[in-house]
Structure 1
């Protein structure tokens, strides 16, 4: 029980850290190219991850770990940051954040496909209801004015769910911070040259908010948040702890309102209460059920 509780607490801390990712990314891409932001955040975090691995003298991953680490890198180091950065050129962070409501379902599905988890049927009911509540909240004012931004966000959710599930599976053997550090190090040979190539000719036009946004997504979103998040998924279960992501849109919306002065409707409170109820229900039924074999 203590192990599961520790997992949920670690996962919640990870969600709180990730909640600032989209507002910080939007700050960064207002003055910086989205591709540069994606490459720079991975490069900065990758260098720090390399120093951590070197300082703690971590053993190299086994050959069987290389493909899963590559999937983690493609999902959370490259795919999600790049797709969201591009999407935020077309939509507001408040609108992008609500797509995170689909991330728990995506993570749970990949947890079944890649992690071998089998949650009880009521878990899927609560998960679907929670996601539905977030999506309904997102669509309260009709379809987004930018289909391109919406498609990019949907693709981001799919690759991120795969990266979360794969990283959590590896974390059970390698450890949470080791997984994201190795994934970042694997990305360095590509991200470091691209960062140099895509860098602005001058940073004179780049304001402090953009630089602070880049710093946040590099240190917290790309590295520190994953230390807690992968630990939480590994201890508490991929499908179950993944439901905490339903809370991320509301944490993120509050940050968007505070930092970017984006409008947050009062209906958010009602939907947030419904989502918390669904998360509690999903947690109760998230325990994996035994699968009968002939």
Structure 2
């Protein structure tokens, strides 16, 4: 059995919050408990929002939590050629198409559809499943957009992808905390069709989260992905991409979320729960661990 390799992979587009602290600490503890390694990856694809200052402050917060990780830190902005290669392989399989509908057009079409009493499918995150361009706009308009170099997203043709893979897929889901960490994994069924045609890249962005994360995990030899429960269903998409690209499948562990007072998961805009604001208010890392039930 290979040495376990865990990773904590935040985006330096804001300050870490309590939910990040829980995930980082769980990964660090699991790596120690299973005699494995801990890596830190910076998901900085968005070069506008991800800044060197936020990156520096994020690493400072992780060090304050007591994390120790291997160097060097992988930055996704250094991996664009690898993402491009993976995307081209999927294109060569005939599984990728340019999608020109704007978000406003999708909302308008779905709203009109539902106004007629016809339900429209939504993905596990609650967003409408993307309709095909030719269903919403004419072929002439679609050709005009392609000729005018209009903005587009490159989407995975999920129906074709699943047909190519054939039989059902699964992933190994293992406990994230306590004794469950050492328990045998269970087979979780993949339901990628529920996501529809997910975005793999955009005209001005060389990759999406879905594509980058599977390429990065394979490149770094990640054996165990321990992340928040909000990404549980996204694992279906990741397993499909792993199979299409011939990449290894890690074990997955999805941990509980820390919710705000409104019952929603925390975001980087929640300044009152950011680690930097709590540190500035005098909270120690021991008190923080107690606060998140660690």
Bucket of the pairwise TM-score, normalised by the shorter protein: under 0.3
Greater helix share, structure number: 1
Q: Which has the higher contact order (CA 8 A, sep 6+)?
A: 1
Q: TM-score, normalised by structure 2?
A: 0.27
Greater strand share, structure number: 2
Structure showing greater radius of gyration is 2
Q: TM-score, normalised by structure 1?
A: 0.27
